[in-house]
């Protein structure tokens, strides 16, 4: 019997279930396995809809202050474990870490989970992640699916305090984050030097300058319409991201 049946915690109301999920997210001493069971149950019961959220991942992002990609990954792993009882049991017994489980659930199936579990027990989390990345990069469909997951995980939040200042957080796929990083470096290199200014403050100034240039119809210190190509070391994955990105953009325009 799986640890995550359709209704794992029938004794809890939606409100109690949501409170438990939030508590597990905030308490680092709580087992991740238990937290995933509550997340799976909350999603199976569409508990997120009680707060007007479109998905469980969106609710986790809001209520547990998670990055959207992290929330999507927690929900994905919680449901995937339902299909993989051997990996699920090893995780429950603390034989493998959440990092290993996250990697294993990207490739394992009921027919192959025993093989991958044996592999995980003999390797560190970093070694396992590298091996599974190589396996996925040899699988075009898997690489494209991962690209879609990262693109759907794009997220930007703007928190404004009472004094009008605030914080901007953004979640992007790797190659797009590299584009942003290079753009910030490009614009910051053209800004006037300020004695004692930290690199972080300089990049914040560059971001503001980019926004001002966009509103003024300019492209920073470069010529209008300049295009920049970023080379991503993992070419196969990078191509998958770009293909999925193009398809995603095309769908949005229809």
Q: Are residues 133 and 249 in the same domain?
A: no
Question: What pLDDT score was predicted for residue 39?
Answer: 92
* 29-57: pLDDT as tens digits: 667 888 898 998 899 888 998 898 889 99
Residue 3 lies in a domain: no
Q: Are residues 105 and 27 in the same domain?
A: yes
Question: What pLDDT score was predicted for residue 139?
Answer: 53
Angle at Cα 99 formed by Cα 23 and Cα 175, nearest 5°? 105
* 123-163: pLDDT as tens digits: 899 888 888 877 766 554 555 555 555 555 677 777 787 88
Residues of the domain holding 208: 155-253
- Candidates 60, 87, 84, 57; CA nearest to 72 is 57
Question: What pLDDT score was predicted for residue 161?
Answer: 79
Number of domains, the chain = 2
Residue 7 lies in a domain: no
Q: Are residues 146 and 195 in the same domain?
A: no
Question: What pLDDT score was predicted for residue 150?
Answer: 55
Q: Are residues 23 and 148 in the same domain?
A: yes
Residue 129 lies in a domain: yes
Q: Are residues 139 and 68 in the same domain?
A: yes
Residues 6+ apart with CB under 8 A from 59: 18, 42, 47, 48, 51, 53
Q: Are residues 163 and 148 in the same domain?
A: no
Q: Are residues 161 and 63 in the same domain?
A: no
Residue 2 lies in a domain: no
Question: What pLDDT score was predicted for residue 97?
Answer: 92
Domain end position, chosen among 98, 133, 152? 152
Domain end position, chosen among 121, 152, 183? 152
Question: What pLDDT score was predicted for residue 179?
Answer: 85
Distance CA 60, CA 54 (A): 11
Residue 207 lies in a domain: yes
Q: Are residues 159 and 140 in the same domain?
A: no
Residue 8 lies in a domain: no
Q: List the CATH number of the domain containing 79.
A: 1.10.10.2830
Domain end position, chosen among 152, 168, 190? 152
Q: Are residues 21 and 144 in the same domain?
A: yes
Question: What pLDDT score was predicted for residue 130?
Answer: 83
Q: Are residues 137 and 26 in the same domain?
A: yes
Flag residues of the chain having pLDDT under 50.
1, 3-5, 140, 219-254
Q: Are residues 25 and 97 in the same domain?
A: yes
Residue 4 lies in a domain: no
- Candidates 58, 81, 79, 80; CA nearest to 69 is 58
Cβ-contact 108, 116 below 8 angstroms: yes
Coil, helix or strand for 138? coil
- Residue 140 exposure: Cα atoms within 13 Å on the Cβ side: 3
Residue 55 lies in a domain: yes
Question: What pLDDT score was predicted for residue 146?
Answer: 55
3-class SS letters over 19-82: HHHHHHHHCCCCCHHHHHHHHHHHHHCCHHHHHCCCCHHHHHHHHCCCCHHHHHHHHHHHHHHH
Q: Are residues 203 and 129 in the same domain?
A: no
DSSP state letter for 4: S
């Amino acid at each position: 019997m799986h640890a995550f049946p359709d209704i794992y915690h029938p004794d809890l109301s939606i409100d109690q279930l949501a409170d438990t999920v939030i508590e597990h997210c905030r308490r680092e001493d709580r087992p991740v396995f238990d937290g995933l069971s509550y997340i799976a149950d909350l999603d199976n019961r569409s508990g997120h809809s009680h707060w007007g959220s479109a998905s469980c991942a969106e609710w986790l992002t809001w209520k547990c202050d998670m990055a959207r990609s992290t929330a999507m990954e927690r929900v994905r792993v919680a449901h995937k474990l339902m299909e993989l009882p051997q990996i699920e049991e090893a995780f429950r017994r603390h034989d493998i870490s959440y990092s290993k489980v996250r990697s294993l659930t990207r490739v394992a199936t009921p027919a192959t989970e025993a093989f991958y579990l044996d592999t995980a027990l003999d390797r560190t989390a970093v070694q396992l992640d590298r091996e599974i990345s190589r396996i996925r990069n040899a699988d075009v469909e898997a690489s494209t699916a991962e690209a879609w997951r990262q693109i759907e995980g794009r997220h930007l939040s703007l928190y404004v305090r009472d004094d009008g200042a605030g914080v901007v957080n953004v979640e992007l796929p790797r190659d797009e984050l590299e584009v942003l990083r290079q753009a910030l470096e490009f614009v910051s290199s053209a800004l006037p030097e300020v004695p004692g200014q930290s690199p972080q403050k300089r990049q914040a100034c560059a971001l503001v300058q980019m926004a001002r240039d966009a509103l003024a119809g300019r492209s920073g210190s470069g010529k209008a319409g300049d295009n920049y190509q970023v080379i991503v070391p993992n070419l196969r994955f990078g191509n998958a991201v770009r293909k999925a990105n193009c398809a995603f953009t095309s769908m949005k325009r229809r």
